[in-house]
């Protein structure tokens, strides 16, 4: 499938495809029956988050180079946590630093968008349940993450889950470069070759615990180089072959 977007089409959220010859609406449901619809009357549609997940299942420490940087042993199994759907924003929307927040960090991550209801999926079959890949910024209040026993508050604020700009289908085993930039300066740059638990294993592990619904996202963890954001910054998560997720940072 061509890269899948969601756009604000005259006040209504619609799925759209970006094709070589221009933008086309998608009629129907990208997770079910659909067809290529009318051409858009603009070259620059207003982009929304490409999917609205019921949940984001995010993975803690999952890059070998990040573990080495932090002097941490490689985990025996993934550490997973949830980010709420209400934290999701699209490219171009602002990350809002809550009043009274401590250090708020960017975390560039590869997101795996689930295409059909998935439960007890074996790693060998994981690709059958994946619609495609996207960029995620697992924005985190680092001070609250340290203070609380678990991550709900630190990673659950509204706007703390930028997702986008689109969903790109293809081989889930291909190695991809994952990068973040703040104000044009590269801060993180690694490859999904460094994943401790690759996509297939994550799909198996997570669906042993819970049902993943169409549009749900597994966020695969962040490479080395996380750092703080302040109001006025622009942060970009860029993934090779997927696209660039761009968000400005503002204060509440």
Residues of the shown chain interacting with Mg ion in the complex, contacts defined by CB under 5 A: 107, 138, 222
> Considering the complex, what minimum distance in angstroms separates the CB of residue 239 from Mg ion?
14
Beta-strand ranges (E) seen in 158-242 are 161-168, 177-182, 185-191, 217-219, 227-229, 234-239
> Considering the complex, what minimum distance in angstroms separates the CB of residue 221 from Mg ion?
6
What does the alpha-carbon distance between residue 163 and residue 146 come to, in Å, rounded to a whole number?
A: 24
> Considering the complex, what minimum distance in angstroms separates the CB of residue 178 from Mg ion?
11
| C-beta closer to Mg ion: residue 7 or 80 | 80
> By Cβ distance, which residue is nearest to Mg ion?
138
Residues 60, 65, 70, CA angle at the centre, nearest 5°? Answer: 65
Cβ-contact 177, 17 below 8 angstroms = no
What does the alpha-carbon distance between residue 47 and residue 49 come to, in Å, rounded to a whole number?
A: 7
> Considering the complex, what minimum distance in angstroms separates the CB of residue 107 from Mg ion?
4
| C-beta closer to Mg ion: residue 15 or 205 | 205
| C-beta closer to Mg ion: residue 49 or 218 | 218
> Considering the complex, what minimum distance in angstroms separates the CB of residue 249 from Mg ion?
17
| C-beta closer to Mg ion: residue 107 or 141 | 107
> Considering the complex, what minimum distance in angstroms separates the CB of residue 58 from Mg ion?
5
> Considering the complex, what minimum distance in angstroms separates the CB of residue 108 from Mg ion?
9
Cβ-contact 118, 211 below 8 angstroms = yes
- The region, left, alpha or beta by phi > 0 then psi within -120 to 50, assigned to residue 10 is left
Integer angstrom CA distances of residue 192 from 34, 50, 196, 199: 31, 22, 9, 9
| Adjacent-strand bridge partners of 137 | 108
Asked if residue 229 has a cis previous peptide bond (ω within 30° of 0), the answer is no
- DSSP conformational letter for 195: B
| C-beta closer to Mg ion: residue 7 or 140 | 140
| C-beta closer to Mg ion: residue 138 or 141 | 138
What does the alpha-carbon distance between residue 217 and residue 57 come to, in Å, rounded to a whole number?
A: 6
| C-beta closer to Mg ion: residue 159 or 222 | 222
């Amino acid at each position: 499938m061509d890269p899948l977007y969601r756009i604000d089409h005259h006040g209504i959220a619609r799925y759209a495809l970006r094709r070589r010859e221009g933008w086309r609406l998608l009629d129907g449901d990208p997770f079910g029956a659909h067809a290529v619809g009318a051409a858009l009357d603009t070259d620059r549609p207003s982009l929304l988050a490409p999917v609205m997940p019921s949940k984001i299942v995010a993975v803690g420490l999952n890059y070998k180079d990040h573990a080495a940087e932090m002097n941490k042993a490689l985990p025996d199994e993934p550490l997973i946590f949830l980010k709420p759907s209400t934290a999701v924003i699209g490219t171009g929307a602002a990350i809002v630093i809550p009043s009274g927040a401590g250090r708020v960090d960017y975390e560039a991550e590869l997101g795996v968008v689930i295409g059909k209801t998935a439960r007890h999926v074996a790693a060998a079959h994981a690709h059958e349940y994946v619609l495609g890949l996207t960029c995620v910024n697992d924005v985190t209040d680092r001070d609250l993450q340290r203070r609380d026993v678990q991550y709900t508050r630190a990673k659950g604020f509204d706007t703390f889950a930028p997702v986008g700009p689109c969903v790109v289908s293809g081989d889930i085993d291909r190695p991809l470069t994952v990068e973040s930039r703040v104000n044009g300066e590269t801060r993180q740059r690694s490859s999904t070759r460094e994943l401790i638990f690759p996509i297939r294993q994550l799909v198996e592990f997570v669906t042993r615990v819970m049902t993943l619904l169409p549009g749900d996202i597994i966020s695969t963890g962040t490479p080395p180089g996380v750092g703080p954001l302040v109001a006025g910054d622009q942060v970009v998560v860029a993934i090779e072959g997927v696209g660039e997720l761009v968000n400005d940072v503002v204060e509440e």
